[in-house]
Structure 1
Amino acid sequence: MASFLNSTNTGEWTTYLEQAGLAELNTRNILLALGSMPIIAIVLNVISQLLPADPSKPPLVFHWLPFVGSAVQYGMDPLTFFAENQRKFGNVFTFVLFGRKVTVCLGPQGNNFVLGGKSTVFNAEDAYQHLTAPIFGDDVVYAIPNEKFMEQKKFVKWALNTDAFRSYAGLIEHEATEFLNHDSNYKAYQSGKTDEWGTVDALEMLAELTILTAARTLQGKEIRSRMDKTFAHTLSDLDGGFVPINFLFRNLPLPHNWRRDAAHKKISQFYVDIIKRRRENRRDDEAEYDIVNALRDQKYRGGDPVTDSEVGHMLIALLMAGQHTSMSTGSWTLLHIAADPELGEKLFAEQVQHFRRPDGTWNPITYDETKDLPLLDAVIRETLRIHPPIHSILRHVRDNVPVPQSLSAPSENGTYVIPKGYYVLASPAMSQTDATVWDRPFEFDYTRWTDNTGFAAQALNEYTDESGEKIDFGFGAVSKGTNSPYQPFGAGRHRCIGEQFAYLQLSTIISKFLQELELRMDTPVPRNNYQTMIATPDSPRMIRYRRRTPAN
């Protein structure tokens, strides 16, 4: 070694060691710099929030992490997040959600401001197309201009009229009966024994049953007959695309997105094949005239026919829209009934009064009878009040918009202005549990809906506005309902057109279950799970059931 160091290359080796040391030092400095960048970003983010804010903009919720903002707090429990900031800032404030600035407008006035706003200013398509287009398709719902979407809503309303509802009640009851008689979860019922208890997951049960009833009624006999276990699994993969992260990022390379895209392609082709076959064979008299035929024959105002792709994608949207709200609300309703045996017996007595024959058998459930079940109606409405499926409704702001002084305290420069490029958020869930509006807002009290002169009845009348002025957004005259503190199906131009169908579906399914089963729970009614786009009951959500005796 000594002879090597004393060789003529000693200088070169020394230079090499010096360079290597410098390189090591530079690498260490770079790593330290990279490691400190998040800390620097957090510090700069905090400093920027401590500097004087623009008084013309709504106050900003403090957040430590840049870009991420308040996403964690909002995502874990949005209503608690809203309530805490409402106490600090009032009804109008802004929070950062993965780089987007979202201005929350709370209370009935906030709902009216956001949901009653013009679509050219508060735009739903900009807000939701990242989420819905990969699931429904790029040529329907929020992936197209609002005017065309309103026309498609009008086409779909073919399946949502009173005559159709009268035919649906028997179909829904039949599906519910077949479900009890043949589903493997109901062995305790199928045994015929009235002292044998079984258990079932409320949400899983309603998820399956509502998709079957929606398919049979809204899509017809042929499509329902093709819905086997394979179709159900494919639909579940498609439904897996409804996750909050996809609202922000459409095509992240994640397994649930790969499954979503494969499922969309498969189900789209399923519908298109049916449509093409029917276009080639126009002998509709040989088949049930259903929504497939109705949509296939539609034309837009300009004269362009609806394409096969659009029909297929509207059918996907119709099927899934016919499931989500009913799945959530139905499971919550059964959980509350199971948690209160006295309520269950009162509801059963109502069923006996309306449907029981003298010999102990049951008359068919009809649409007109479901509209005359005041106790069941009150239970469903209270469920929708305290457990609304959608807690936040977003719009993208296309132009600077001043906030009405009646909605929040004026800023130093007058009213707040929500800048172009922000998002606005309304939360009917907050107004439906507002302690300044509702008595005992978080208590499940169905009796508030049985008082025809009480506050709940007034809120419902304002929402339905049966005798008031109707507005036609392009798909038929509806009540705006944007001023009501009770908005279980949204309000304004994007109010759910399947509202009446959902009530029929829920009333019929729950009526059949009440007629056939006693329900109990061994655990409290679960908390809300906000980790999905639709607020659902968290686990555990197991219901115990047993077959009713013919005499009780």
Structure 2
Amino acid sequence: MWFDIWREPTFTLGKLNSFELDIRTGLIFIFSVLILIYFERYHDKKAPPSCGGWIPWLGCAVQFGKQPLGFIKRKSQEFGSIFTLYVAGERLTFLTDPKDFHYFFDNSDVDFQQAVQVPVQNLASISRTQFYKYHTKLHDMVKGRLGPVRVGPLGSTLSGQLNQQFDKHIDLTEPQDLMMITRRSMYASVLNTLFGEGNPLVHEKADYEEFLKRFITFDNDFELGVKLPSIFLPKWTAAKNYFLKRMALTFQQMRGQNTQSDKLNMVDALWDKLDGDEVTHKFGMLVMFASIANGVPAAYWMLTYILTNEIVREKVLKEINDVFKDWQGNGDCTIDEEDLKKLTYLKCCVYETIRLRSEGIIGRKVVKDTQIKGYNVAAGTMLMISPYWSHRDERYFTEPEMFKPERWENSNTDIPGFVAFGGGRYQCPGRWFGMMSMQTFVAMFFLKYTCTVHSPIPAPSLIHLIGVQHPTSEFLISCSKKA
């Protein structure tokens, strides 16, 4: 094997035959070239301070991968507000001061679409040509369909779905893990709201069980799945292919079925904007994934924070009881738009949750050599910011690790450090639907149940950088129906 050449204990040239000498000489030459390439990256004295490693391509990938969010914080303390990490062949230039985020969101030399095109292609088999042809259309359609004006009426549909799904999936006889309750209740509720009740993704019990199993695999390995060749992640690839087939079936069966009160059917909306069977269901898969991958764990964390903070819990319950004085508690009860508007403290809980449990990093691709804070940043670099750390900047958020919904009571979300939904032209188009979903989920839960907590609040996983962190342990609760 190739590694056998390193096993000889001595490198005395007199003991080498010409073939061995050629191999050693060739290897020395190759490593010399790699070292030269490595140090060539530092020739620009005006580049940001950087962290690499002694292996040129690998860089600091090993240290970074062990605890990425902690590593980013340490390098920020070492280098300051701008620095570059060389990670597995990529240049990642981080901006860690929210005052500099305009370089990220408003810089014409930095592009969002080029940063996400390859991950989207790996996620849903959308080709480069298809992506650039349809992505902006999709973004603007979702933004219009799920904007603040139109998303309100969906609260009734979603709450009605949650009312049914809670009854199906909450066991009143023994403790359950809250994450599984949230997944089982919200996946079906959200997808029925967006794609129509009866869609093949979640309609039949056996199909839903398969959906749950596949989506957990797909979600857990998403960050690796969109980067590595499919051969390395066979279970993730199998889940991806499963969802593509199920989305194709959903689009065949649900087209033309306007099942929502305001005539929203995301299937028809996608058909109107996109061309043909080949691509529509693939973008539908993007909508499916985006609608639940972050919203569901965020709803879980929101309920977890409320349940483990007695003061917050009492305020939430008082507000809900005041707004829903005439709640009947039967299967037909829903939460409408006017109800949600009155739940102002609960909305503060939404903002505080997404502050604490935001994505680890978000990125844009530098498409043209640019200057940032006096430093030269080369084209091809990935420019990064960390919402996780900017949301903990003590200049903007006192006691940043504390869950304090009161900090949002003045409704001021225009804070430099708060970037939970991104920014710029491609700011998250479904943010209003996501917030409404979290608010509705918690309100409906407390209208139907009282519960007892059996576990401490779990620690979040800080390994994955993309999306809302998942818990590292179970959070067990017992539920009983309200009288």
Judged with a 3 Å threshold, the aligned counterparts in structure 2 of structure 1 residues 76 and 157 are, in CA distance, closer, same or farther, namely: same
Asked if the contact 2:81–2:96 (Cα under 8 Å) also holds between the matched residues in 1, the reply is yes
Asked if the contact 2:60–2:86 (Cα under 8 Å) also holds between the matched residues in 1, the reply is yes
Counterpart of 1:297 in 2: which secondary structure?
Answer: helix
Deviations 1:74-100 (A, max 9, x none): 334333222211111111100011111
- What letter is aligned with 2:46? S
2:123 matched residue in structure 1: 135
Counterpart of 1:84 in 2: which secondary structure?
Answer: helix
Deviations 1:152-183 (A, max 9, x none): 22233453145643432222222222222122
Of 70, 78, 82, the residue aligned with 1:80 is 70
- What letter is aligned with 2:381? Y
Tell me, yes or no, if structure 1 residue 221 matches structure 2 residue 197: yes
Offset of residue 324 of structure 1: 1.6
Counterpart of 1:182 in 2: which secondary structure?
Answer: helix
Asked if the contact 1:136–1:314 (Cα under 8 Å) also holds between the matched residues in 2, the reply is yes
Asked if the contact 2:163–2:444 (Cα under 8 Å) also holds between the matched residues in 1, the reply is yes
What is the correspondence of 1:410-425 to structure 2 with a 5 Å cutoff?
Answer: 415-425=374-384
Tell me, yes or no, if structure 1 residue 488 matches structure 2 residue 420: yes
1:243 matched residue in structure 2: 222
Asked if the contact 1:131–1:250 (Cα under 8 Å) also holds between the matched residues in 2, the reply is no
Counterpart of 1:318 in 2: which secondary structure?
Answer: helix
- What letter is aligned with 1:443? M
Offset of residue 101 of structure 1: 0.9
Of 184, 187, 194, the residue aligned with 2:172 is 187
Judged with a 3 Å threshold, the aligned counterparts in structure 2 of structure 1 residues 154 and 47 are, in CA distance, closer, same or farther, namely: closer
Tell me, yes or no, if structure 1 residue 256 matches structure 2 residue 188: no
Tell me, yes or no, if structure 1 residue 334 matches structure 2 residue 303: yes
Asked if the contact 1:400–1:420 (Cα under 8 Å) also holds between the matched residues in 2, the reply is yes
2:271 matched residue in structure 1: 296
- Which 5+ residue runs of structure 1 have no aligned equivalent? 1-23, 189-197, 299-304, 406-414, 464-483
1:501 matched residue in structure 2: 433
Deviations 1:3-39 (A, max 9, x none): xxxxxxxxxxxxxxxxxxxxx9769969x969xx79x
Judged with a 3 Å threshold, the aligned counterparts in structure 2 of structure 1 residues 317 and 324 are, in CA distance, closer, same or farther, namely: same
Asked if the contact 1:367–1:504 (Cα under 8 Å) also holds between the matched residues in 2, the reply is no
Aligned length: 462
Counterpart of 1:94 in 2: which secondary structure?
Answer: strand
Offset of residue 368 of structure 1: 2.2
Counterpart of 1:187 in 2: which secondary structure?
Answer: coil
Q: C-alpha separation between the residues in 1 aligned to 2:31 and 2:223?
A: 25
Larger mean Cα displacement after TM superposition, 206-215 or 233-242: 233-242
- Which 5+ residue runs of structure 2 have no aligned equivalent? 1-14
Of 185, 206, 209, the residue aligned with 2:185 is 209
Of 210, 235, 242, the residue aligned with 1:233 is 210
1:469 matched residue in structure 2: none
Offset of residue 57 of structure 1: 0.7
Offset of residue 400 of structure 1: 0.4
Of 264, 285, 300, the residue aligned with 1:316 is 285
Judged with a 3 Å threshold, the aligned counterparts in structure 2 of structure 1 residues 440 and 273 are, in CA distance, closer, same or farther, namely: same
Deviations 1:487-526 (A, max 9, x none): 1111112211111111111111100111223344444322
Asked if the contact 1:134–1:261 (Cα under 8 Å) also holds between the matched residues in 2, the reply is no
Asked if the contact 2:112–2:364 (Cα under 8 Å) also holds between the matched residues in 1, the reply is yes
Q: C-alpha separation between the residues in 1 aligned to 2:449 and 2:357?
A: 24
Offset of residue 73 of structure 1: 3.5
1:430 matched residue in structure 2: 389
Counterpart of 1:223 in 2: which secondary structure?
Answer: coil
2:139 matched residue in structure 1: 153
Judged with a 3 Å threshold, the aligned counterparts in structure 2 of structure 1 residues 218 and 310 are, in CA distance, closer, same or farther, namely: same
Q: C-alpha separation between the residues in 2 aligned to 1:51 and 1:143?
A: 34
Offset of residue 128 of structure 1: 2.3
Q: C-alpha separation between the residues in 2 aligned to 1:283 and 1:203?
A: 32
Deviations 1:338-392 (A, max 9, x none): 212342232111111001228788963112221221221122211111111x221
- What letter is aligned with 1:292? V
2:469 matched residue in structure 1: 536
- What letter is aligned with 1:324? A
Offset of residue 61 of structure 1: 1.3
Asked if the contact 1:214–1:322 (Cα under 8 Å) also holds between the matched residues in 2, the reply is yes
Counterpart of 2:73 in 1: which secondary structure?
Answer: helix
Q: C-alpha separation between the residues in 1 aligned to 2:240 and 2:130?
A: 16
Asked if the contact 2:61–2:87 (Cα under 8 Å) also holds between the matched residues in 1, the reply is yes
Asked if the contact 2:165–2:188 (Cα under 8 Å) also holds between the matched residues in 1, the reply is no
Q: C-alpha separation between the residues in 1 aligned to 2:32 and 2:322?
A: 65
Deviations 1:416-451 (A, max 9, x none): 11011211112222211012332111222222223x
What is the correspondence of 1:380-529 to structure 2 with a 5 Å cutoff?
Answer: 380-388=350-358, 390-403=359-372, 405=373, 415-450=374-409, 452=410, 457-458=411-412, 460=413, 462=414, 484-529=416-461
Counterpart of 2:363 in 1: which secondary structure?
Answer: strand
TM normalised by structure 2 equals: 0.83
1:19 matched residue in structure 2: none
Identity %: 19
Deviations 1:299-354 (A, max 9, x none): xxxxxx62223321222111211102211211111211221234223211111100
Offset of residue 257 of structure 1: 4.2
Q: C-alpha separation between the residues in 1 aligned to 2:455 and 2:257?
A: 55
Q: C-alpha separation between the residues in 1 aligned to 2:120 and 2:137?
A: 18
Offset of residue 112 of structure 1: 2.1
Counterpart of 1:240 in 2: which secondary structure?
Answer: helix
- What letter is aligned with 2:248? Q
Counterpart of 2:171 in 1: which secondary structure?
Answer: helix
Superposition RMSD on alpha carbons, in Å? 3.7
Offset of residue 549 of structure 1: 4.3
